[in-house]
């Protein structure tokens, strides 16, 4: 799979793309990431990519021309713009993106981009949550990590891809490993009982308890 990134901060991506399973996926050729510096399409000696908004107001707006020039050669890819006004990112969206040959991620900036970019050069506008960032770069990294773990051969144990949070519509139960006691804090007795039926019943109850407490929106209760 190829992922193209359009950004004014290509350096932002260096370390995150070099390490962990994303770095391994790139080394093995499973994932090909291409960074495009939007400033190469900027206007004038300052390579300007933003300008004051028509109608007035605070902040700057990303200009249509640099983004049009950057996106025109990528017209045959699936083009995603990260913006706080987009559709919320979810696992279904990542699953869909992981089936694509060529995905393009456009990192906007908070004040916004000229609407003509979204109208003519973007397939999908996506938000990663209801909070304010400085730009779409972190959102693009979220997408890359979420997609990469779905690519064939990236995650060793294929069942872990299927059984994680959100796959069953519930949060995960708490996990423990050795030692059985640390600073007087023990591990739930049931997990050391060897009774697999009891253990599975406990885990299911904990998944429900946790989901009810933290994410009632995931339950139809
Ligand atoms: C580009 N706040 O916020 C939440 N999801 C995406 C964003 C975002 C932002 C600013 C710029 C994306």
Q: Please indicate whether residue 110, judged by its CB atom, sits closer than 6 Å to ligand 1.
A: yes
d(CA 11, CA 8): 9
Kindly list the structural domains of the chain, giving each domain's residue range(s) and its CATH number in brackets, ordered by start: 2-148 (3.40.1280.10), 163-220 (1.10.1270.20)
Residue 98 DSSP class: T
Residue nearest to atom 9 of ligand 1 (CA): 133
Any atom of ligand 1 within 6 Å of the Cβ of 135:
yes
Q: What is the pLDDT of residues 19-66, one digit of tens each?
A: 999 999 999 999 999 999 999 999 999 999 999 999 999 999 999 999
Three-state secondary structure call for residue 84: strand
Residues 120-130: what's their mean pLDDT?
98
C-alpha distances out from residue 108 to 27, 47, 58, 80, Å: 28, 16, 17, 10
pLDDT at 162 over 70: no
| Environment class of 148 (CB within 10 Å of its CB; exposed 0-12, middle 13-18, buried 19+) | buried
For ligand 1, is residue 129 a contact (CB within 6 Å)?
yes
132 CB within 6 A, ligand 1? yes
Is there a cis peptide before residue 80, judged by omega within 30 degrees of 0? no
* 50 C-alpha to ligand 1 centroid (Å): 17
Q: Is 9 in the pocket of ligand 1 (CB under 6 A)?
A: no
Is residue 139 in contact with ligand 1, taking CB distance under 6 Å? yes
Determine the distance separating the centroid of ligand 1 and the alpha carbon of 143, expressed in angstroms. 13
CA angle 205, 208, 210 (to 5 degrees): 105
pTM, full prediction? 0.94
Q: Check if 146 has its Cβ closer than 6 Å to any atom of ligand 1.
A: no
Say if residue 144's pLDDT is above 70.
Answer: yes
Ligand 1, closest atom to CA 82? 12
Q: Give the per-residue pLDDT at 109.
A: 83
What are the tokens at 144? 């890359």
* pLDDT tens profile 62-112: 999 999 999 999 999 999 999 999 999 999 999 999 999 999 999 998 689
pLDDT band for position 7 (50/70/90)? very high
């Amino acid at each position: 799979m190829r992922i193209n990134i359009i950004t004014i901060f290509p350096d932002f991506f260096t370390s995150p793309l070099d390490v962990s399973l994303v770095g391994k996926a790139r080394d093995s050729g499973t994932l090909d990431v291409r960074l495009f510096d939007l400033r190469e399409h900027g206007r004038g000696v300052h390579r300007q990519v933003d300008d004051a908004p028509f109608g007035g107001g605070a902040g700057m707006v990303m200009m249509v021309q640099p983004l049009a020039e950057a996106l025109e050669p990528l017209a045959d890819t699936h083009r995603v713009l990260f913006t706080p006004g987009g559709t919320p990112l979810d696992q279904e969206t990542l699953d869909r993106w992981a089936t694509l040959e060529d995905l393009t991620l456009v990192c906007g900036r908070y004040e916004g981009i000229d609407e003509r970019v979204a109208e003519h050069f973007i397939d999908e506008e996506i938000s990663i949550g209801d909070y304010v960032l400085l730009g779409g770069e972190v959102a693009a990294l979220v997408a890359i990590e979420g997609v990469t773990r779905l690519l064939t051969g990236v995650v060793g144990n294929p069942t872990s891809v299927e059984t994680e949070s959100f796959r069953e519509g519930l949060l995960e139960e708490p996990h423990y490993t050795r030692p059985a006691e640390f600073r007087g804090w023990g591990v739930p007795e049931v997990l050391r009982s060897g009774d697999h039926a009891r253990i599975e019943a406990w885990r299911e109850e904990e998944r429900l308890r946790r989901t009810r407490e933290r994410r009632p929106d995931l339950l139809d209760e």
